[in-house]
Amino acid sequence: MENKPKITIVKIGGNIIDNEEILNGFLKDFAALKEAKILIHGGGKTATKIAEKLNLKPLFSNGRRITDKAMLDVTVMTYSGLINKQIVAKLQALKTNSIGFSGADGNAILSEKRTNSEVDFGFVGDVISVNKSLISTLLLQNITPVFSAITHDGNGQLLNTNADTIASEIAIALSETFDINLIYCFEKKGVLADSEDDDSVIETLNFEKYQSLKAEKAIHSGMLPKLENCFKSIENGVQNISIGNQNILKDSTIYTKIKL
């Protein structure tokens, strides 16, 4: 059986984006990766700060942003504009040729407005499909796609979309053609057995152990959507998944490996 070409897909969290020194260090490590790669990012605190300058009050439900029309404008400007282009420019300086994308660009990620929820999240999208042909073509041309957390519905409507989910859906879509290494990178060293102890990293987490820790409410609630995306990915052909901090691209780092 022929070996599939390797791709590293990395999603970076807001606490990395918000700290320029940490972001610059991470992007240097990311640019140094030899294989094809994709970067997905959210918006950190920047969208909230810009909203406050515009006298808009950000709304959340269980840690998830509610996106009304005014907040959608802010997230599009911030995620797909300011942050995306800053990251692309930094990667160009590191000799990594990259292109910034929202889901609308090249019809890269099609979503539908979320309706199956007790809470009305507004203009929030759930991914329907990923344009794997487009992404594969770019990767084969040695171009690194950089995705913001904005998608579209195919009818002219942009939608704010969870960046962890975007990373998972891209990984699943490309897993038939490529050997995927999916990495979730945020401020902690990995999934913690004790959310108060930053050194209590669970080095290997399988689904059975996850279900047990979830039942015990031992895992921080903010980690649950990320882990749901991890296990969905691994069930759909993504073999290598890990969660850790900005040093995760370095060999000697402690992090959590996700297993089925």
Residues making up the binding site for substrate: 43-44, 65, 160
Tell me how far apart the 2 most distant CA atoms of the chain are, in Å: 58
**Given phi > 0 = left and psi -120 to 50 = alpha, else beta, which region is 75?**
alpha
Distance CA 134, CA 170 (A): 12
- Contacts for 103 with CB less than 8 Å, ≥ 6 apart: 109, 110, 111, 125, 147, 150, 151, 152, 159, 161, 166
**Cα 163 from Cα 9, distance rounded (Å):** 12
Q: Return binding residues.
A: 43-44, 65, 160
